[in-house]
Amino acid sequence: MELIVEQFVRPLRDGSGIRIVRVNPQGQILDVLSDRQGLGSAEPSPDGNWVLLERYDSKGLQGIQVRSLDGFRLRTDHPEPTGRDTGSLGTSPVWSPDESRFALALNAPNLSKPGRLYPRLAIVSRDTTGYTRVPDSPPGKDPVQGGVIPLFWKKDGIYVRTTTIGSGVLRCDPEGSGCVGVYSPGENRMVLEGREVAGDKALLLVKDFTVNPLEARASEIHEVNLIIGEGRVLFRAPDGVFLSDLDWVGDPVAS
């Protein structure tokens, strides 16, 4: 077992302070993969063969790279889209189960509200460049208000979160037939992050807008059955405590 760890180090080099290293469970550094070279937000593929990386320069996010974790060799570089209708990178990339593709969010124009950009679902090949937009709304319906952001990709589809209060998690068809609702966290709540766990379940970080509307972090963890769409509040943080990230390693959560 190995870990991919991002470190922030000084001094900066060409505006970058991120170092990416391979680490064993004892915390020993096995290899330095990137040292302040403008790469970050590493996302290993399901079987650990590849890694997705965001590529930055002094002007900000410039693209997505796919590299092999065997030698850190570059497989493909996906530059920031240039077409006005395509949009700009919103990222949040997630791998497909077979590691051949990944989904991400593109900030694209909304025709009903000129001048506004909303995150929309796109799919990218591991091996060839280019972004393919796929519908992120129910079949025959208008685009989801506020847009969607990928959470994870299972064999039955791409799970995304909406960015509107009171909505929740959708399951989208990567082949383009649209999305269907899976779970709503409840009124005055919004899903901020999610991780698949074993047993067709997911854990979601949920923000409660009745606690502190200006606080960007979550206050609840919801456990959701992705098959039947039912969920429960697994954990609620004490007053004044907020949750900023979520991951999962282990057996299925007990019912």
Please report, in tens digits, the pLDDT of each residue of the chain (255 residues total).
788 999 999 999 988 999 999 999 898 999 999 999 999 999 999 999 999 999 999 888 999 999 999 999 999 999 998 766 567 899 899 999 999 999 999 998 776 666 788 999 999 999 999 999 999 887 777 777 789 999 999 999 999 999 988 889 999 999 999 999 999 999 999 999 999 998 799 999 999 999 888 888 999 999 999 999 999 999 999 998 999 988 876 654 443
Instruction: Please check whether residues 153 and 228 belong to one and the same domain.
Output: no
Instruction: Please check whether residues 27 and 68 belong to one and the same domain.
Output: yes
Instruction: Please check whether residues 36 and 123 belong to one and the same domain.
Output: no
Instruction: Output the pLDDT for position 252.
Output: 44
Instruction: Please check whether residues 66 and 114 belong to one and the same domain.
Output: no
Instruction: Please check whether residues 153 and 88 belong to one and the same domain.
Output: yes
Residues 19, 39: Cα–Cα separation, whole Å: 8
Number of domains the chain is built from: 3
Given 163, 184, 205, the domain boundary residue is 184
Given 136, 166, 184, the domain boundary residue is 184
Instruction: Please check whether residues 20 and 101 belong to one and the same domain.
Output: no
Given 34, 55, 80, the domain boundary residue is 80
Instruction: Please check whether residues 109 and 87 belong to one and the same domain.
Output: yes
Instruction: Please check whether residues 26 and 44 belong to one and the same domain.
Output: yes
Instruction: Please check whether residues 131 and 67 belong to one and the same domain.
Output: no
Instruction: Please check whether residues 98 and 174 belong to one and the same domain.
Output: yes
Residues 138, 82: Cα–Cα separation, whole Å: 28
Instruction: Please check whether residues 55 and 150 belong to one and the same domain.
Output: no
Contact 150, 160 (CB under 8 A): yes
In the numeric block, which tokens belong to residue 148? Answer: 């969607």
Instruction: Please check whether residues 179 and 191 belong to one and the same domain.
Output: no
Range of the domain at 205: 186-255
Instruction: Output the pLDDT for position 142.
Output: 76
